[in-house]
């Protein structure tokens, strides 16, 4: 049975990531009561004809057009259908589940005013793993992604279940539910807020934290193979620089390299090592510190109401507030920062790969190939790593500064939080592959070490785990297939530090 996360408080980014991987969500009575209370406020706003954006007015530049009670259901439906205009390849399973989880978490704060039936249907789809097809492109913020979810609730659009594509109506039939007829404000609430960016950001954080551990492991393996000096990782000198991330990386490297015969053999052979080796605590540590700052932003976002408008008060004295909580500026900046941090990890990893395969500096057979000239070994896979690092450099340009003007000057500043999260995930995918190449190259380097020097206990464990999934490479098969195997291993396996 999958883990069940109880939504009785603000979810954490780690919990959103767990739901992305398959955990279920349940809502306790007090959460349902908050949702119902907010809906009662919306009903009172409608009855009292208190003007509220998207409740009894049009949206965007049509915000001053009054929509009377008989047309409010049509307004909600039409918002979903017109906003469902995303394009491109659909989001993956984990990305879709993360967005849906963040959307449910936003409604659970009790300020959106959607009906209980609407949240129940969204929750049922998520827990049954019947997932709306969400085109990945076309959003400057959140609208198109969220609309692709919302239209399934009304029996439109498409969903995927157990690898099969079904219509929105068929998806609901699998749950024994009829298509919803949305009430006032529900169409707007279903496309509003920052859940798209928050869900993707939570997933990006989880992947980045996971890969940070493997980056340290890969660096330790490369460091040992290249006969570097141990002093850069010594605890006392590292402590002179204030950085929690640096301290963690130093501890990881010392643990993995403790008692290394290879490092003992090379001790004193040079004054100091090149920066791609010597600065691992400083670079990897800075990345970890950046991730901690991003995590604070995402945690605050999950604890916040990001709908617009928000409803408050009581049915007797209902309130509606049109503010800009749906603007994800903080998330856009944070995801740009995460993307840059991940790109930095890939960049330093590629430099270590180059040193492993370069006979001018490695002291190992050229390109880690068996047989001089006949085999190319890891020559060209280093090109692949360099290409991915270059692509990351392009992707790391800030999305949050892209700007743009939409809706006839009504929305005249755009912060691109969802695109920022999307490209951060793309950078992380490239980072996975670069680290897989480094780990493979380091394992190959161990197999080609001259002399009697051996591995540390920690790096021997890493080597054995890698050799458990791929053999030594002898130019006997396409190398990209083996890289895929190692990449999938890194993605699904905890580094164990």
| Catalytic residue set | 53
Please tell me the distance from the alpha carbon of residue 477 to that of residue 435, in angstroms, as a whole number: 20
**39 class by beta-carbon count within 10 Å (0-12 exposed, 13-18 middle, 19+ buried):** buried
Please tell me the distance from the alpha carbon of residue 119 to that of residue 153, in angstroms, as a whole number: 10
Please tell me the distance from the alpha carbon of residue 206 to that of residue 496, in angstroms, as a whole number: 15
Q: Strand, coil or helix: what is 167?
A: strand
| Most distant pair of Cα atoms in the chain: their distance | 86
Query: Residue 17 in contact with residue 93, Cβ under 8 Å?
Result: no
Q: Strand, coil or helix: what is 395?
A: helix
Say whether the peptide bond before residue 291 is cis (omega within 30 degrees of 0): no
**Distances in whole angstroms, Cα of residue 10 to Cα of each of 27, 105, 106, 187:** 12, 7, 9, 23
**173 class by beta-carbon count within 10 Å (0-12 exposed, 13-18 middle, 19+ buried):** middle
Please tell me the distance from the alpha carbon of residue 159 to that of residue 132, in angstroms, as a whole number: 4
**Which residues, 6 or more positions from 119, have their beta carbon under 8 angstroms from its beta carbon?**
27, 35, 104, 107, 108
Please tell me the distance from the alpha carbon of residue 375 to that of residue 192, in angstroms, as a whole number: 56
Give CA torsion, residues 160, 178, 183, 133, to 10 deg.
10
Please tell me the distance from the alpha carbon of residue 284 to that of residue 272, in angstroms, as a whole number: 19
- The total of other beta-carbon atoms located within 10 Å of residue 259's CB is 11
Please tell me the distance from the alpha carbon of residue 399 to that of residue 204, in angstroms, as a whole number: 16
Distance of CA 265 to the CA centre of its chain: 41
> Across-strand partners of 4?
24
Please tell me the distance from the alpha carbon of residue 374 to that of residue 27, in angstroms, as a whole number: 63
Distance of CA 79 to the CA centre of its chain: 28
């Amino acid at each position: 049975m999958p883990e069940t996360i109880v939504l009785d408080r603000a979810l954490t980014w780690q919990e959103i990531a767990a739901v992305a991987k398959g955990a279920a969500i349940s809502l306790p009575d007090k959460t349902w009561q908050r949702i119902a209370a907010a809906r009662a406020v919306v009903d009172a706003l409608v009855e009292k004809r208190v003007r509220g954006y998207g409740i009894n007015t049009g949206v965007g530049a049509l915000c001053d057009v009054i929509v009377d009670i008989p047309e409010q259901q049509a307004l909600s439906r039409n918002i979903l259908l017109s906003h469902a205009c995303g394009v491109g390849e659909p989001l993956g399973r984990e990305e879709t589940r993360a967005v849906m989880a963040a959307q449910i978490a936003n409604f659970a704060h009790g300020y959106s005013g959607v009906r209980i039936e609407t949240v129940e249907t969204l929750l049922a789809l998520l827990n049954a793993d019947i997932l709306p097809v969400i085109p990945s492109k076309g959003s400057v913020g959140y609208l198109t992604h969220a609309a692709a979810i919302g239209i399934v609730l009304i029996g439109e659009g498409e969903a995927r279940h157990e690898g099969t594509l079904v219509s929105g109506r068929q998806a609901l039939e699998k749950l024994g539910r009829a298509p919803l007829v949305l009430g006032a404000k529900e169409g707007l609430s279903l496309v509003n807020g920052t859940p798209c960016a928050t869900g993707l950001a939570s997933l990006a954080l989880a992947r980045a934290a996971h890969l940070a551990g493997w980056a340290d492991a890969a660096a330790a393996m490369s460091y040992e193979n290249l006969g570097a000096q141990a002093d850069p990782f010594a605890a006392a000198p590292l402590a002179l620089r204030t950085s929690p991330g640096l301290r963690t990386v130093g501890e990881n490297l010392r643990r993995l390299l403790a008692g290394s015969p290879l490092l003992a053999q090379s001790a004193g052979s040079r004054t100091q090592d090149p920066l791609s080796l010597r600065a691992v605590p400083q670079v990897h540590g800075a990345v970890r510190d950046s991730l901690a700052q991003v995590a604070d932003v995402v945690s605050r976002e999950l604890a916040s109401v990001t709908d617009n408008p928000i409803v408050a008060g009581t049915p007797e004295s209902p309130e509606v507030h049109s503010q800009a909580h749906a603007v994800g500026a903080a998330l856009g900046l944070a995801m740009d920062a995460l993307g840059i941090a991940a790109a930095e990890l890939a960049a330093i990893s590629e430099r270590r790969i180059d040193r492993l395969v370069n006979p001018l500096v490695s002291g190992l057979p050229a390109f880690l190939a068996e047989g001089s000239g006949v085999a190319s070994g890891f020559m060209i896979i280093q090109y692949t790593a360099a290409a991915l690092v270059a692509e990351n450099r392009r992707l790391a340009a800030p999305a949050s500064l892209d700007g743009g003007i939409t809706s006839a000057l009504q929305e005249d500043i755009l912060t691109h939080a969802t695109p920022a999260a999307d490209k951060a995930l793309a950078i992380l995918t490239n980072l996975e592959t670069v680290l897989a190449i480094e780990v493979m190259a380091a394992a190959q380097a161990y197999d080609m070490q001259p002399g009697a020097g051996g591995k540390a206990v920690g790096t021997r464990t890493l080597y054995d785990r890698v050799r458990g999934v791929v053999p030594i490479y002898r130019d006997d098969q396409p190398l990209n297939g083996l890289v895929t195997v190692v990449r999938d291993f890194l993605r699904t396996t905890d580094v164990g530090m």
